[in-house]
Structures are given as C-alpha cells and as structure tokens.
Structure 1
C-alpha cells in the first residue's frame, strides 16, 4: 500500500509540473492562499491531522524545479511567518506536515532562491535544526535539506558558523551514523568560505576531537586483543566507533570543498576539453598564516596520519574499516583542502604497501592510482625539494617509477599464485581490475614508469598477466585488461595523450611529452612490448571470440583485435593466419570457409 501511494504521488507530481508549465507563476496564486486557509483551519481545530495541508505542501514541493529564482514573490510568503512560521508552532502530532516542509526546503531551486534572499536563511536553518528534535522520522529529511541549503548558501552563513558547531555538539549523540555524517558535511560547508584565520581553528577543533576519540579507542583495542579477534561482521562497539570517526573526518573534508560553480570564473576549457586554471600564480591564502598557526597545523597533520597508520595496523584484516579509511585518503588526494588533511606521498605509499602485503585489498591499489595522478614536486619550510600532492615533474617521475616497481613486487606474486596465474587471477579478480586500471592511468600520465620497470616485471606483465587476464570470465576485470592493452596498442604521445596530462593549475605538460624524440622512443618501446607477444595475444583474442568469453565481451575484444591489426599491419595478418591454420581452432564448429571469411573481414 505504501509503495502504491508513493507511485500515485509521483504521477500527480508530474501532472502538477505540466500544469505549472502552462499556468506559470499563477499556480502559486492558487496554492499559497489555499495553504494559508488550511493553516487557519488547523488553528481553529478543523484541520484534523493536517492531511489536506500536507497535500498542498507536496504540490508546492512538486513544482520546485520550475521556480523562477529571481521572480517568485510567493516564496516570501512560503518561507515567512505566514506559513513556515506557523508550521514551527504546530504540535508534534503534525509531524507529517513538518516532514513535507523539510523536504520542500531542500527541493530543486529553493536553496538557490534562499541564497538570493538571505533574509530568510536563518529562520529556515532554525526550522530545520529544530526539526531534528521533533521526531526520529523527520531527521533524514531535515538533515538532507540542511545539507543542500548549507552547500548552496555557504557564503551567506559564515556568521552562524559557531552556532552551527555548538548545535553539532548538542545533537550528534542522538543521530544515526549516516545522519551525523550529513550534518557534519553541512556544518563544514559553512566553514569553507571563511578566511584561513577564521576557518582553521574550527576545523582543528572538529578534526582534533574526532582524532582524539579514535586514538582513545585504538588504545582500548590494543589493550584488549579479544576484541580484535572478533570477526569483522560482529558489531564491536569500538570497531563501529572508529568507522564512524573515519566517516566523520571524510564528511569534514567533503564539506569544506568548494561547491560546484564557485570556480567557474577562474577556469577556462582548453580546446581538448581539459580544464585549465587561467591564474596559476594565485596566492595560496594558507601561505599567509602566521608561524604559530602553521606549527599547530603541522602537529595536527602528523597526529592525523599517525592515527590513520594505526588504523591500518590494528584493522589490517578488516576490509570494511580499511575501505572507509582509504575512501577518506582518496578524498584528501582528489580535492584541494587544508594541509592538515594532505598526506605525505612517500609515507602514504609505504603505509599502503605494508597494508596490501597483509590483506590484498583492491581499494589500496585504487588509492595508489589517485596518488600517482596527484603527486607533485614542492618544497618544505626549509626550501628543500619534497613531494606533495598536485602536478608532476621529473622528480615525480622517478618517484612514480620506484613506487610502481614496489607495488608490482607485491602484486605479481599474488596474481601468479603457485604457478597457476589463471586460478590466482580469477580468485583475486578485484585486484586484477584495480591493478590494470592503475596501469592504464599510469600509461596516460607517466608512460616512462612502465617502460622503466625491471625486465622480470615486463616478462610477467606481458607474458602472463595480460594474456591470462584477457581470458577471465569476470567482466569488470577482463574489461580493465582490455582497456589497458587497447591504450597500449594505440599509445600516442601526441596531443590526445598530452591533453590527459593537463590538470587544474598546470601550465605545461610532462617533460616526456614535450620532447618529440623522447616521446617517439617511448611509443616505440611500448609498441615493441606488444609486438613481442603479438602472436600469442591475437590467439587469445580469437579464442575469446570463438567462445572463450561471454558474447557481451565480443565487441570489446573485436575492437582490440582491430586496433592490433591497424597498428601492426605487416605482422598482424601472419599472426591471424598462423593461429587459424590449427585444426579445430578456435572451435570444432569453425570451418575453413568461416576462417577465410573472418580473415577477409578483419583485414579490410
């Protein structure tokens, strides 16, 4: 019955949108007076439980995506004392009315309207915060709308930052884990537009309290081995608390990111589609902080990453906890946030390698993928060259080469198994997928890192892992291998690849793509690696098309085979013909006529 009612309302909402497109703003001339009339009826005791009024609010919610932000005078009534103010005074029995109004606030264009009409922002925020205490059924709707409003209107809400922080401390004990994360994102969003001098004390207080709770809990776990011996699926309070603190830290990182559209004026789109910041030399506001504040930030940063290292060590076999910790790290790598959340790349790489050697979780390879994309050359307080997160340089290339070699040394034995790579790669298909996606990204940004791998790594990669991976039945892992080989075969150091190396804030491309001779050498070396296994590669692909893989994979395999034939025209025909000469290959149902037609079709 509940599902039928939900579908019924969805249908009516679509009907109301159609009416709104015909009537325009005049639809508010019907709904707003009706809402005021129904409020009067409720105040006089004739509104029963407010069902009719709630239906009117639902109608207003349904047409929110058609709101004219700059010209809708009726919203002044909706969010003013005449409607929202009266709803605030309703008794708890009218919780459904408040629920629908909470959803209405965060719907479509209403937060944008509030951003342009800041006079109504504080009453709206107050209404939503008060709704958190009315009924547990309201919490999700109130937090969701609060997150929308705080994200869109963050620049208007800086003045109530301390009030929101105080409200967070009061309300967090009574919220669920997911609602706490959404509320902390809302609170952190308000901090983002503040100057570093105003923002950082708040952030350090938030992060410091979370890290403090986590360190206390980790100490308890270290002193109680019996708690750690429980399987991951058992709900141990200390384990759940650490997960919650990691999620909250990630929520803080998400909240203090700039909202979409904040940087539009500072960006331009290059001809190849890459986003490039025009003013690359803009002053970093965090560089203007006094030495005392920088010192406090450095101390907190050290504690943050020391604590994360302890999480990896204590929960080394707990995949869910490691996954949450890695998602937090990925957030710090992918976005520009204060230095306290930014890791030291070398320390992080060592931490990930140490952890992966214990648990073989694919998420850690995904962190490496982002790390290789993000690392750059910087300098420390003494002016010495160090690695930080950002663009790339020759110093970075050497670092990526070394770290990729280290990572290979951990992954290759796992995927080779005990001399049976087929079984090992099938068992660790998630690792295969993450590993080849990493190689694809490294190929696009740091191709020399793959070339400089030890010869033994090349032999395993080209001679075992690629050929075995192309026959995996798991679609996602096989597709990742196909994508890597496709980019390897089609590798070009011209404009199409250099565009991939352009990232926000960069003014130049990698050194290896600037020098045409080095670029050509890089391409020749990579193509040479493919050519060495060309005959075996073609054989595997034809076997896949002949029934080795599900039919859904055939288009990808056919495309890869076509690329090989296109890029190696002199050798490819011989490779194809040679393997098709074998009787019963790729299947006993394939006749000589079929093989001739196949060769003719592929060689066109």
Structure 2
C-alpha cells in the first residue's frame, strides 16, 4: 500500500498530496533498520535485507516524483500557481532529507545507483536517443543531498571519479545544446557541494571549472556558479595557481558583459583572490593583485561618470566597487590552518614587501580607490560603512599584505569621517576591531592612535552628556572603551585633564540605566572587566584603584537599581556579572552595596529592609560564585512584585556624586 501511495498519478503537491504523507513512515523505518530492536539475532540479516529492498524501491519511487516537468509536460509547470510550485519544491527538499537519512542504511549502493542513472541517461544519447535531462537532474539533486554524509576518504570516490571524469560536464558546458536550465543549475550546485572531493582529486578540476566559468555569463546560473567557483578555489587554492591567468581572463570577459551579476562579480573576485593568496611569494602576488584592482577601478570610473551626470545609480556602483574590494581582501587572507610567524617571534624583520616599493604603490592605489569613492559620494553613510569594511579585512591578518594598512593611515581616515559627523558608529566599530587586533602579544603598540580616538570620544561624550541622547553612538563609545582595557587601559585611567576623564566614567555609569539593552549590556561588560583589573604596572594599577574607589558607590547604586527591578528581566544576568566581580574583587563592595540598599523605597517599594539585608548577605557570602545569578533573579522578582511581567520600570533619579580624582591619582 505504501508503495502504491508513491505511484499515485500526478505531480506531487501540485496535483496530488498523498505521496507527501509517507515521509514520516519511511524515515522512521530507516531509523529502525539502523538500530533494530526486538528482532531475534537469527532473523536480523533477513529483516535488514528485506528492509533495504523496500527502502531502495521507495527511493526510486520518490526519485520519479521529484522530476521537474520537461518536454511536452512543461506546460504543466507553467500552468501551476505559485503555491503549487512552492509545494512541489518543498516536496523535493523533503525527499533530499529522506535520501540523506536512508543513506545510513543503503550506503555506497545508493550512491552507485544514482551515478549509474546519470550514466545510463547519457548512454542513451550514444545510442541515438535524446537525453532525458529530467532524469539526470533528479539523480544529481539526490547526489547533492549526500555531500555532507561522506567520510573523509569515502568509497564513493570511485563513483564520483566516474561522474566528474565522464562527459556530463563537457556536454553541459556546451551552451549550444538545448538543455533545461534546471539541470545546469543542479549540476552547478553539485560541484560546489563536493569541493572536498576535488581537494582529494584535483585532476578533475579543469573540466568542472570550465563549465562553471562559462555558466557565470548566464544570468540564471551566475550566482550559483560563482558560489561553486568560490567554494572550489577556497578548498583547492594551492593546486590552482597555474590556472590564475586563465581565471583572470575569464573574469575580464565576464565583467565586460552588460548582464554581469553584481554578486557573481564579488564571488569570483574573492575566488581568484584565494588562488592569489596561495602563490609562494609576495612578488608573485603583485601582478595578479594589480589586475584585480584594475577591474575595480573600471567600476570606479563608471561611478565617477555617473556622478558627473548626477545619476542616482552612482551610489550603487560605488557600493559594488567597495564590496568587490572587500571580497578581494577576504580572499587574500591567510587561511587559519596555515602556520605563520606571529609578531614578535623570531629575529626583527625588515619592512615588508607591502610597506615599500611596488607593494606600497599597490596599497596607496587601494587607498585612493576608497578615498575617491567616499569623497565623490559626499561622505554618504552607506559608502562610508563599506569603506570601513574594506579596512576590517586587513585586521584579521597577522602577516603583512596589501590590505594591512598602517594604523595611522586607518585612524586618519576614520577620524576624518567621524569629525564630520558621518557614521560615527561604523567608525568606532572599525576602531574597536583595530584596537583588538593590536592588543595581542607581540602586536605593534598603537597608543598614539588610541589616544587620538580618545580625544574624539571625549568631545563626543561632552556633546551628548546623557547616553540616552544617542544610544547607538553611546554603545559604540562604551564598546571602544571595553577594547582598551586589555592593553591600553593606561590611556583611559591616566587621561588628562582629570575632569574630562571623570566625566567619561560618569557617562559609562549612566549607560547602565538607559532603556536600550545593548547599551546596558556593553556598560555591564565594561564594569565587570574594569573592577577586576589587576597586576598592572604600579602607576596604572593605582589609577585604576582610584577610579574604582571614586565610582564604587555610584556603581553599586546603578547595579542595585537594575537588579532591583529597574532593568528588564532579560537583562538581569548581564547586570549580575559586574555585581559578582565587584563583590569578588573589591573589599569595599559590601559598604557600597549597603549604602545603596539603605535608601527608603530603593530600589523598589516592594522590598522590605529585611529582604534587602538578606539579599546583601547572600551576595556577599557567595563571593561572585554561580549561585549569585539565582539570588539576583529572586531579588528582581521580589522587587517587581505582581508587575514582574513588565518589560522595564521607570528608572529612579540617581544622583552621582564624585570626589575629586586628584586624591586617588596623586
């Protein structure tokens, strides 16, 4: 009966829905065969053999159901509604999931059968019959679903060698043949899914890459083909360096077409950059990198022409050019599995190739592209965002490269934008990444650049006064200060004049009580880290201790207000972290918390003096251990009372009184 349900006439989910009701049974049956229980040992072999036979038959029946209408049946597809098409495509995905499940039962036998179905369809063409491409596509679709199920050295490789070494992709690459576009689309996806196979068998790469590069010129194939090209070049970069000139030529042809897809351009440039990265020396990389920048400069010239015509498309072309640069930068990054010499290891190194001569010329050329686009588009926010992303591609690198700019160059560019009030959040976010990348052991010290950012932040905070004025900018400020704590905390706590530094810490304290959860979380992270800082050089540690002493009472008050019902329920765990660190690391924590809790009606009129005392004693006795979070949550619930489902209570007026820092920092 179950097999009969799969043989019901009509297209699945478009003309009949019975076949779709059998998935659960066949999945459960396959799982039973993988772990049979209640079967006698002497009957187990017979049951498994019979079960495999039934599942294999079901797969074949599902395979017939997923074939896309073609030939004289294509009118059926055209007559379907959108819901019918969507239902049919969902059915195909469900079949793919089922094939992956039953593969555990059938193993390599299923794989061989699917490959043989493809070969059989092509063999019919040799005999004078037309290739039934609907059958080929259905088999490739099922094979695609199995790509993640193979081991590192699967026995299925033999079948894949036959598939990829045969004439299938030669035929598909000939666009003079009338082949359904869906067959080509599925073939393109299949190649990308089996990039691990091509790593093991690089001799099969030329045929499939030729097919893919030809396919990117077809709009309906461009994105999937470029995705597969990117996957192959990332996995097999080391074996493809000899094909680099061919790839550059293929891209040049593709990018010159009027129908070149933007996303495909980005992906193919990234793919080629993967291969460039695999070249053994920087000198060998120079020429290809210059070619890649030349392609981007063509888009820049188009953008400038559109700007002169006041054409609204200029911005889109500018963004495309910058995204292409980002793709190139990502492609040139050294893979994580490649051993590198970390900064500070080994003898002092001379200036890198990219910091002098022809290499430096390339860097300046790249920077000119970014500057030209930003200035030509009048500091447009989205363009500035994309420009910042170009710089971020170099932050991930630990070795010199064309996208690894000097910190002073990046800082100058970023602060020029920020001082004009453009995309402050993006500027500070990029600055955060730069500080983090220069906070590891052996990385260059960028104290000068960090101080320049500090001056900007001070001016910004003076202008905002209250973090609630501009929550996004406030979050960026606090997160930048967070990044400073690992290596550049001295710049923060020894900043002069003292009054401005005092103002900045007050700003971060107030950030604990704003409405926006991301600002509050960033501030909580800052204080949790700051009150825990230890083992710094004596002058720096003394300054840190002075700031903690100055802010202790106000910090305790802010934290008590938050965990005492002022913050939303989802924010309690975040606020518990600085509270735990305060109690664990600061000897005056009990005094500060007691002072905050001693106020009548604070943090909530629902709390009695007894409950506040019990909370204080519990938190102090736990000394920052895990159980503190539960105590804090119970305190929050008690403070909220019957209103615990409310998102947030209005914050109380919290006055922050500071003593002069001079006594602590002397």
After TM superposition, the structure 1 = structure 2 runs for residues 120-135 of structure 1, keeping only pairs within 5 Å, are: 120-133=204-217, 135=218
Q: How does 1:437-452 map to 2 (within 5 A)?
A: 437-452=479-494
Paired residue secondary structure (2:486)? helix
Which residue number in structure 1 is paired with residue 430 of structure 2?
A: 367
Deviations 1:352-373 (A, max 9, x none): 1121122252010112122223
Question: SS where residue 586 of structure 1 aligns?
Answer: coil
Say which of 317, 321, 330 aligns to 1:245: 321
Cα deviation, 1:80-121, whole Å, max 9, x if unaligned, reads: 2243334445734411111111101111xx212212212211
In structure 2, distance between residues paired with 1:92 and 1:445: 64
> Which residue of the other structure, out of 441, 456, 481, is the alignment partner of 2:499?
456
Instruction: Name the structure 2 match of 1:100.
Output: 186
Cα distance in 2 for residues equivalent to 1:350 and 1:131:
43
Q: What residue is the counterpart of 1:596 in the other structure?
A: 613
| Matched-pair contact (CA < 8 Å) for 1:470–1:541 | yes
CA distance in 1, matches of 2:222, 2:534: 53
- Counterpart for residue 321 of structure 1: 383
| Secondary structure of residue in 2 paired with 1:590 | coil
- The structure 2 residue matched to 1:117, chosen from 197, 201, 226, is 201
Matching residue of 1:17: 100
Residues 492-511 of structure 1: pairs in structure 2 closer than 5 A: 492-493=534-535
Q: Contact 1:161–1:191 (CA<8 Å) still a contact in 2? A: yes
Q: 1:286 to 1:601 in 2, by over 3 A?
A: closer
Tell me how far 1:40 sits from its aligned partner: 3.9
Higher mean Cα deviation, 184-193 or 594-603?
A: 594-603
For structure 1, the residue ranges without an aligned partner over 5 or more in a row are 228-234, 268-275, 377-388, 494-517
For the 8 Å contact 2:296–2:321, the answer to whether it is kept is yes
Cα displacement (A) at 1:14: 2.8
Alignment root-mean-square deviation, CA: 3.0
Find the residue that maps to 2:212 and give its secondary structure.
helix
- The 1:89–1:39 alpha-carbon spacing in structure 2 relative to 1, beyond 3 Å, is farther
Q: Residue in 2 aligned with 1:504?
A: none
Determine whether 1:78 maps to 2:78.
no
* Alignment partners' CA distance in 2, 1:39 and 1:369: 57
Give the equivalent residue in structure 1 for 2:288: 202
From 233, 236, 254, give the equivalent of 2:312: 236
Pairing of 1:256-405 with structure 2 (within 5 A): 256-263=332-339, 280=346, 287=353, 295-315=357-377, 317-335=379-397, 339-358=401-420, 359-374=422-437, 391-392=442-443, 396=445, 398-405=447-454
Counterpart mapping for 1:469-548 below 5 A = 469-493=511-535, 519-548=537-566
Note the alpha carbon deviations across 1:456-507, whole angstroms, 9 max, x for none. Answer: 33211222x11210011211121111111110011134xxxxxxxxxxxxxx
Change (3 A) 1:212 1:26: closer
Give TM-score scaled by structure 1 length: 0.80
Contact conserved, 1:580 with 1:586, CA < 8 A, in 2? yes
1:408 aligns with 2:471: no
Distance 1:312 1:548, change over 3 A: farther
Higher relative contact order (CA 8 A, sep 6+): 1
**Residue 497 (structure 1) aligns with:** none
- 2:145 is the alignment partner of 1:145: no
Per-residue CA shift, 1:428-471, capped at 9, x if unaligned? 222222222221111112221212212133211222x1121001
Q: For 2:274, which of 189, 196, 201 is the aligned residue?
A: 189
- What's 2:631 paired with? none
Tell me how many residue pairs correspond in the alignment: 530
Distance in 1 between residues matched to 2:181 and 2:298, nearest whole Å: 37
Structure whose alpha-carbon radius of gyration is higher = 2
Label 1:94 to 1:41 Cα distance change in 2 as closer, same or farther (>3 A).
farther
Aligned to 1:136: 219
Q: Deviations over 1:181-212 (max 9, x none)?
A: 01111122222222333321121122144246
CA distance in 2, matches of 1:365, 1:9: 46
User: d(CA) in 2 for partners of 1:541 and 1:277?
Assistant: 40
The structure-2 alpha-carbon separation of the partners of 1:283 and 1:73, relative to structure 1 and needing over 3 Å to count, comes to farther
1:586 is aligned to 2:628 = no
State how far apart, in whole Å, the 1-side matches of 2:90 and 2:419 are: 50
- Tell me the distance in 2 between the aligned counterparts of 1:315 and 1:540: 44
Q: Which moved more, 1:346-355 or 1:481-490?
A: 346-355
- Name 1:230's counterpart in structure 2: none
